[in-house]
Structure 1
Amino acid sequence: MLLKRPFINLLFIGLLFLSCRLFGQSPAGDTVKLTVKQAEDLFLKNNLQLITQHYNIGIAETQVITAKLFPNPDFSVATALYNTQTHKFLDFGKDSLGNSQAEYTGGISQLFRTAGKRNKNIQLAKIGVEQARYQFFDLLRTLKASLRSDFFTIYFQQESAKVYATEINTLQKILKAYKEQNAKGNVSEKDVLGIQSQLYSLQAELAGLAAGIDASISQLQLLIKAKPGTYIEAEYNYDLDGKDILTTVPYQKLLDSAYNNRYDLRLAKSAVTYNDMNLKYQQALAVPDFNLSLGFDRNGGTVPYFTNLGIEFNLPLFDRNQGGIKQARITIDQGKVQLQAQQNQVENDIAVNYLTVSRYEKLSNSFDPKFRGDFTHLIQEVVKNYEVRNIGLIEFLYLYDSYKTNAVQLNNIQLSRVNALEQLNFVTGTPFFNQ
């Protein structure tokens, strides 16, 4: 059943408004043009998640300060609350001979740690600082990869959106002219409806594409702390066509770089070191610490003005930290397995992403570099020939749709190639490509 013309016109106006709203400026009207380098600079300066993680390094460094501190000495002093002979509270009076009747005691004691507990605890705290740094740089690596992926997605999708916008603009002009000719009886209603149908289809596809662009822009805004509602136009000079980028870096170099520069792998290695030191610390905890004390008692014993020197430590008859030591040994075994799993993951990441890059590179380089330009010129001639009725409506719409499809596919292939190279940068921990 054919739609009535007033409804078709209303639908056309609605889709046109929607496409202009989705692809153009932000609601606030602010548009920012960014290169990938500018986006990275803003990210390093403004990203709140990165700033928050950096504070953890400072927090870990304070643990080293705490571990280096010696225990504070304990000081005590006491006096008699009630004198049973004089029946007085806090009696500081003198007897008949003029001697003070006050009784008081005092003492000072110091805890001494044994078996190198302090030094081992310092080493654990220093490893903790190292781990906090690794966590920071791994987060930096992850967020930077996400930023670059969002940036390139925005760029290539915006390039595809330009193709849609050009076709929509051309079809709108043709439709306007055909409506005028249809009113004069020179063009059939069928041709007008065919152009309208193609136009509506393109506008609907552009609306979906623009929604994807907006989602990527939103993620990029959060990473660089851009003003909400800012529309970002990505600027990038794609120049990979016909180049064998992958051959510039040997596979073994990629693998070696991953082993040296992947901070998640360094963190796994650091965990093994931490667990080894923790075992030594737990074993040291089995050795008792001791307190040395010095005390004074004025009148409390048989010897007036009694001064004493003492030592105190617990006897490790039952609790020799058996559970802590066993747990530390199990943790060492667990950490070694986790390290091996992480190493396997690194090797697998390199292999898989190397293959992905190779496939997209071969696919991209198989296209004739002149294809896009030749096809663009061809479609311009197609429009001219259709306007003078040298070709029919069906052939025109077919060629026009083919142009759009191929242009968008080329953008998607280029995006996939760039993102594959970016992923290879990510898994190696080194920016080998797309610099």
Structure 2
Amino acid sequence: MRRIPLPIFVGFTLIFFTSPIVAQEWTVLRYTPIQIEALFLEQNLQLIAEKMNISLADAEIVQAKQWANPELSVGSVNFWGSEKQREGLVMGAFPKNTQFSVELSQLIQTAGKRSKLVNQTKVSKEIAVEEFEDVLRGLKAELRKLVGETTYLQSYSAVLSDQQKSLEQLTEAYKKQAAQGNIAKTELVRLQSGLLELENEINETRSSLNEQQKNLKSLLNISPLNRIEIDPDNDSMPVPEPDWLASLFVTARESRPDLKRGELETLFYEKSFIYEKSLRTPDITLSANYDRYGGVWKDFVGIGISFELPFLNRNQGNIKAARISINQSRQLALQQQNNALHEIAEAFANYEQAYNFQQKIAENELLTELDKMFEIYTKNLLNKNISMLEYIDFMESYRSSKQTMLSARKNKHISFIELQYATGSDLK
């Protein structure tokens, strides 16, 4: 067995043991939601792949425009001819009296088949464009929800961290007081228990945040060694007025790519029906041929024409299938429109509910002053103006209220995203 030289072995060992250390370093990237969307449009791999379908459809249009190639055939070549035919053989030259024939033929498509096929493939490209837009619509909604979830978890994690710092300071102070016998150890235990519960919730929140980070970085196609922090932008959203719903229905018909695709599929089958009908007309093949010694004359030049006799097969089955596909696609398009209207109505009702609830919280002065109350309760506990039980109860209420406030803002954000997804438009 060959031995590895010592310098090479040491080099591989250093690389192996140092690379995990480098892999643990996080690079923090701070983005606004607008910057995240711009990065997503530029780098998302699924979007890049889906966009290639449009180029494929362009290639199909180019191919549909092509004429059939002419066909050249050489036949009836007589290499073992008579002695008279071999008289012209000089230094390996082709015998001048050898019999052979040459034919050149060209297929001519009739009934405008080529242009009809081009029209059909052009509709296919339009369908590919709408399919791309539909994928983009779904991925943008997913991205925006991830941004909303990540922003919520970041904010809630900050609330929990502030509580943790306060409880840790109180715990250290109570440890000294308990050691001096100034307070009962049960109060210290109660405080430590509350701290443990808080730290457990912090771990769960950070685990959820890690999952959202994974999904977000996957959509943005950035390194897993990066960590994203989102700077929230202005979350002002339109007021859900009752008369807004009717205009959303109109917007959906004009903007939703899946509804456009349903209409285009009907158009595609209509073009397909026209094309299949044109196939009933037989194509013509024109030919010109030259024949030497193959008939009465030594050098014969002739022209010809050939075509099928459409007695047995007039493409009846494909024509019938295309006609059925037209009716089927129309029914499916109507069903899509019906589903879309119900989706918009549901999304609007959810947004209206979430918007009103978040506004109610924003107008509650008591909830907006929670941070001040948190500082007051902490000072009162240190001054022994309130009991430990009162303080722990307030801490739980504070955390629950903060979570409700942040959750209400997140739900309003997500319900608005779902409304935009249902209408297929970025509403303002």
Length-normalised TM-score, structure 2: 0.89
Amino acid of the structure 1 residue aligned with 2:320: K
Partner deviation per Cα, 1:377-398 (whole Å, 9 max, x = no partner)? 1121111111111111111110
Q: Are the equivalent residues in 2 in contact too, given 1:112–1:290 (CA < 8 A)?
A: yes
Q: Distance in 2 between matches of 1:230 and 1:149?
A: 20
The residue number in structure 1 matching 2:329 is 335
After superposition, the C-alpha distances for 1:26-71 in whole angstroms (9 at most, x for unaligned) are 9422111110110011111111111111111111101111111111
Range 292-301 or range 75-84, more displaced:
75-84
Report the equivalent of 1:49.
46
Partner of 1:304: 298
Q: Which residue of 2 aligns with 1:398?
A: 393
Aligned match of 1:210 in 192, 197, 206? 206
Are 1:233 and 2:229 counterparts? Answer: yes
* Residue 379 (structure 1) aligned with residue 352 (structure 2): no
2:424 aligned partner? 429
CA contact (8 A) 1:148 1:422 kept: yes
> Equivalent of 1:76, from 62, 73, 77?
73
Deviations 1:273-328 (A, max 9, x none): 00111011111122211101111111110222122211111222222222211221
2:17 corresponds to which residue? none
Structure-2 residue corresponding to 1:289: 283
1:22 aligned residue: none
Corresponding residue for residue 66 of structure 1: 63
* Aligned residue in 2 for 1:163: 159
Aligned to 1:143: 139
Gap change, CA 1:294 and 1:228, over 3 Å in 2: same
Residue 419 in 1 paired to residue 405 in 2?
no
AA matched with 1:378: M
For residues 337 and 295 of structure 1, the distance between their equivalents in structure 2, rounded to whole angstroms, comes to: 54
- 1:163 deviates by 0.9
Residue of structure 2 equivalent to 1:116: 112
- C-alpha offsets along residues 195-225 of structure 1, whole Å, 9 cap, x if unaligned? 1111111111111111111111111111222
Secondary structure of 1:366 counterpart: helix
Letter of the 1:366 partner, please give it.
Answer: K
Runs of 5+ unmatched residues, structure 1: 1-25
**Counterpart for residue 126 of structure 2:** 130
Q: Return the alpha-carbon distance in structure 2 between the equivalents of residues 93 and 416 of structure 1.
A: 94
State the Cα distance separating 1:85 from its structure 2 match: 3.0
What amino acid sits opposite 1:148 in the alignment? R
1:359 aligns with 2:353: yes
Distance 2:335 2:389 in 1: 58
Q: 8 Å contact 1:111–1:289 — kept in the other structure?
A: yes
Cα distance in 1 for partners of 2:267, 2:88 equals: 61
**Mapped contact 1:92–1:102 kept (Cα < 8 A):** no
Please tell me the root mean square deviation across aligned C-alpha atoms, in Å.
Answer: 2.0
**Percent of aligned positions that are identical:** 27
Could you tell me which residue of structure 1 aligns to residue 31 of structure 2? 34
The answer (yes or no) to whether the contact 2:70–2:107 under 8 Å persists in 1 is yes
| Structure 1 residue 87 displacement after superposition | 9.6
1:39 corresponds to which letter in structure 2? I
Residue 180 of structure 1, aligned match among 176, 182, 186:
176
Deviation at 1:229, TM superposition (A): 2.7
Contact 2:131 2:261 in 1 (8 A): yes
Q: 2:7 corresponds to which residue?
A: none
Alignment partner, residue 315 of structure 1: 309
1:132 and 1:73 map into 2 onto residues whose CA distance is 33
Q: Equivalent of 1:260, from 254, 257, 262?
A: 254
- Aligned AA for 2:103? G
Q: Give the Cα–Cα distance (whole angstroms) in 1 for the partners of residues 238 and 59 of structure 2.
A: 49
Please point out which of 245, 251, 254 is paired with 1:251.
245
1:93–1:102 Cα contact (<8 Å) kept: no
The residue number in structure 2 matching 1:201 is: 197
Moved more, 245-254 or 398-407: 245-254
Shift in Å at residue 373 of structure 1? 3.1
Residues 1:272 and 2:269 aligned together: no
Separation in structure 2 between the aligned mates of residue 326 and residue 292 of structure 1, nearest angstrom: 31
Contact 1:79 1:102 in 2 (8 A): no
Q: Distance in 1 between matches of 2:283 and 2:87?
A: 39
Q: 1:343 to 1:91 in 2, by over 3 A?
A: farther
Among 324, 333, 338, the alignment partner of 1:344 is 338
Work out the number of aligned pairs and report it. 401
Note closer, same or farther for the CA distance 1:295–1:372 as it changes in structure 2 (3 Å cut).
Answer: same
Q: Output the CA distance in 2 between the equivalents of 1:325 and 1:344.
A: 29
Offset, 1:424: 0.9
**Partner amino acid for 1:341?**
Q
The alignment partner of 1:365 has SS state of helix
Q: How many Å separate the matches in 1 of 2:367 and 2:29?
A: 28
Q: CA deviation at 1:121?
A: 0.5
Structure 2 segments unaligned to the other structure (5+ residues): 1-22
